[in-house]
Amino acid sequence: MLEYVLKGSKNYWGWIFFLSAIIILSFFFYLEQNSYGLGITGLSRNVTWGFYIAQFTFLVGVAASGVMVVLPYYLHDFKTFGKLTILGEFLAISSVIMCMLFIFVDMGQPFRIVNVFLYPSPESPMFWDTVALGGYLLLNVIISRVVLDAERKSIAPPKWIKPVIIISIPWAISIHTVTAFLYSGLVAKPFWMTAILAPRFLASAFSSGPALLILMCLFLKRITKFDPGKEAIQKLAIIITYAMAANIFFILMEIFTTYYSAMPEHIHHFQYLFSGLDGNTNLVPWMWISVILALSALVFLFFPSARRNEKILFGICLAIFVSIWIDKGLGMVVTGFIPTSLGDVADYWPTIPEVLISLGIWALGFLLITIFYKIALSVRKEIVTETK
């Protein structure tokens, strides 16, 4: 099927080269980080996890969200999502690979990472996260490959694939739950140690992931013959509405317990996020942008007429994606460390090399998505493949 990747329009190749250029540039910065050490980032003794781990956390959510199209199609035989499932699975594969790369670049001794397998430690949530993510990648590779192969040959997929797909559904839930457990089991971090973290992660994932899927579908619809169908998009929009409502509800639960009890070790973190602490207001404007985007997107989603207008829907989905990216990809991880266990309001901001390395991984993810979608759409002859 790889031959489909090698044939494409000028725009296709332009996009591929653009992404490749970013990847190559960021690779040089990674080499620099590798020789100097992680001191090249904004991290310090006080804030030991930052932008990389935050991107990882956000992308686990995007990976898990593939289940929002897989579940209705395979469990409820919801045929409308027929054209979307493969895109959901490919999005999951690309996201998991990005997750793994973000973990890799965050390691102080990346080439010792094999120690995780040589000395497996079932007591560590990180061990289980590795198992969950690796397994999820494997499941999705098998499923998408078998299903697409069958589609290319115009035959029904083999029967044994159905149970594999069914397993992938709870597995998707597990990857984000275990990722939440990385944080929520730590006595040292009151900001993370909340039972609602896993539900919150899932709700935000099931709104931001499908939002990205809609954005890509609407984009593909413009540049190719691909059309997932109006109803499919609308059903996804309803899923996003419920997930986003649940997400905001969960956050309000946190806000209530924190601000009403006013326990210093809890409230200080929220003050750092929303009003600033000891004069440090690094994240305050970002968090308010996130809040405004989330609330206005939800209000628009409540009106079917707005939802049905695909231009407005595009804006809504963009707002949700950005809002949740700020919440998880910027605020959530760092704030666990500020203030520190010793009460210091530490300073952290990602450095240019840190952002560029991250950008490179995002570019690689988008390159994978592009290649995978190219294959999927070519198999379905929804792209006219130019041959010069």
- Residues forming the site for another protein (CB under 8 A): 36-39, 43-46, 48-49, 103, 106-110, 112-113, 115-127, 130, 182, 185-189, 265, 336-337, 340-344
Taking the least distance from each CB to another protein, the nearer of 122 and 279 is 122
Taking the least distance from each CB to another protein, the nearer of 119 and 260 is 119
Q: How far is the CB of 43 from another protein (least distance, A)?
A: 7
Distances (CA, A) of 312 to 10, 112, 274, 388: 30, 48, 28, 38
Taking the least distance from each CB to another protein, the nearer of 134 and 315 is 134
Compute the distance between CA of residue 142 and CA of residue 291 in angstroms, rounded to an integer: 39
Q: How far is the CB of 62 from another protein (least distance, A)?
A: 22
Shortest CA distance to 132 belongs to which of 178, 64, 86, 163? 178
Taking the least distance from each CB to another protein, the nearer of 211 and 332 is 332
Q: How far is the CB of 207 from another protein (least distance, A)?
A: 27
Q: How far is the CB of 267 from another protein (least distance, A)?
A: 14
Q: How far is the CB of 270 from another protein (least distance, A)?
A: 17
Q: How far is the CB of 130 from another protein (least distance, A)?
A: 7
SS3 sequence of the chain: CHHHHHCCCHHHHHHHHHHHHHHHHHHHHHHHHHHHCHHHCCCCCCCCCCHHHHHHHHHHHHHHCCHHHHHHHHHCCCHHHHHCHHHHHHHHHHHHHHHHHHHHHHCCCHHHCCHHHHCCCCCCHHHHHHHHHHHHHHHHHHHHHHHHHHHHCCCCCCCCHHHHHHHHHHHHHHHHHHHHHHHHCCCCCCCCCCCCHHHHHHHHHHHHHHHHHHHHHHHHHHHCCCCCCHHHHHHHHHHHHHHHHHHHHHHHHHHHHHHHHCCHHHHHHHHHHHCCECCECCCHHHHHHHHHHHHHHHHHHHCHHHHHCHHHHHHHHHHHHHHHHHHHHHHHHHHCCCCCCCCCCCCCCCCHHHHHHHHHHHHHHHHHHHHHHHHHHHHCCCCCCCCC
Taking the least distance from each CB to another protein, the nearer of 82 and 120 is 120
Those residues whose C-beta lies under 8 Å from the C-beta of residue 189, and which sit 6 or more positions away, are 183, 336, 337
Q: How far is the CB of 208 from another protein (least distance, A)?
A: 24
Taking the least distance from each CB to another protein, the nearer of 125 and 228 is 125
Q: How far is the CB of 223 from another protein (least distance, A)?
A: 33
Q: How far is the CB of 153 from another protein (least distance, A)?
A: 15
Taking the least distance from each CB to another protein, the nearer of 125 and 329 is 125
Taking the least distance from each CB to another protein, the nearer of 106 and 323 is 106
Taking the least distance from each CB to another protein, the nearer of 14 and 110 is 110
Taking the least distance from each CB to another protein, the nearer of 157 and 315 is 157
Q: How far is the CB of 121 from another protein (least distance, A)?
A: 5
Structure tokens at 61: 């959510």
Give exposure, 207-228, as e/b (b: 16+ Cβ within 10 Å): bbbbbbbbbbbbebeeebebeb
Compute the distance between CA of residue 181 and CA of residue 198 in angstroms, rounded to an integer: 7
